[in-house]
Amino acid sequence: MSKIPTIPGQVLTAPDEANFLKSLVQGLCNTRTRSFPGSQPVSFTWKSLQSLEKQDYWVCEKSDGVRCLLLILMNGSTQEQETYFIDRKNIYRRVYGLQFPHHEDSTLSTPAANTILDGELVIDHDEQTGEDTLRYLAFDLLVLAGDSLAEKSLQSRYGRLKSWVIEPYKKLLAKNGNKSQPFELKLKTMERAYSIEQVFNEHIPRLKHGNDGLIFTCAESGYVNGTDSRIIKWKEPSENSIDFKIMLRFPPLEGSDRDLDFSKKPICELHQWEGGKMYRWYDNWDITDEEWRNSNKDGIDLHDKIGEFSWSDDKQDWRFLRIRDDKLDGNHCTVVDKIIESIKDGVKASELIENAPRIRSTWKEREQRRSGGLPSQAQPSPSKPSQMRIVQ
């Protein structure tokens, strides 16, 4: 299991300050609520291959890290630039030591403001030196200088992120003498969807942080707050995971009708989120004696925590992966259903690669049509392989 970074910065504890920033972000993103405005992917199924054929999709590796938005603003009172990380719990952290210049000022002297990046914090580990480096891999741009980019395509947003945010930032950093930063900012590499084999064979092996699959994003679509069906996360079917709330049920203490025996291994219930504060039992996790001893030895309190689980077809049981301290709630019941579907109807890496030529062919046909060429005859959809089975 790869190292999961701790989000740097000072948590805002003053309600008035946090509420002000949430209202500011709500206005910049034009959202209905003040909740976390980031987009969320859906799980990959066999039908997703048809989406990759019908529209232009980009693909990148899915980093095993912590998702955060980066807010850049100007403080009207102090006239100083401030930067904040916003995590999926909608907690704001003030991050010090960063400077972002305005993209229209070639002298790099005007600070940027009212800009929001989307990305993921990872820990890159150097096997030779043993050193860990905290990096923020930016992959999208929601707002630039107060202008919402939600209606623009991914390729347009990504181009602005690269040319108008990251490149000026690096130029200013070099101009100021490459001062120490709280993390290293990098642009996440994207490829066309038909370059799947290149991502598997070249990108992922060179990673210094953990990998959790692939992300396919429609290059033609705008930015959606909340679940976006045109952002698709792929994992090997056996590695698809669900976030449940863990509820421990301890047996009664011998000779007592009221007290519980906390020395005994409990029944571990997995509950799915129904929305609001409602949870409902979904299944039991048959935690092994060794797993229970290790959790006690490591001081891990599993009760009422959000845990990530994958399904073991061999054991016909859930496999515990990690505690998700970065999430307030488990997966919603509708998401659980879709992930179960993606496990049953999953696509293997070899099947993705086999379909890459077809994805490339239909991409090139669209390019030809856009350039004024005649459309080619549509290709038939891929045939569906035999499904794997999951037993709950």
| CA gap 196, 239 in Å, rounded | 18
Look up residue 105 and give its two tokens: 């000022």
Per-position DSSP letters for 331-374, written without gaps between them = -BHHHHHHHHHHHHT---HHHHHHHHHHHHHHHHHHHHHHTTPP
Burial 136-164 (b: 16+ CB within 10 A, else e): bbbbbbbbbeeebbbebbbeebbebbeeb
| CA gap 98, 94 in Å, rounded | 11
| CA gap 70, 67 in Å, rounded | 10
Instruction: Yes or no: say if 231 and 80 are a contact pair by the CB < 8 Å rule.
Output: no
Which member of 3, 22, 47, 62 is catalytic? 62
Question: Is 235 a known active-site residue?
Answer: no
Instruction: Yes or no: say if 70 and 182 are a contact pair by the CB < 8 Å rule.
Output: no
Say how many C-beta atoms besides its own lie within 10 A of residue 15's C-beta: 8
Select from 84, 17, 47 the least CA-distant residue to 234.
Answer: 47
H or E stretch including 167?
helix 167-175
Which residues are known catalytic residues? 62
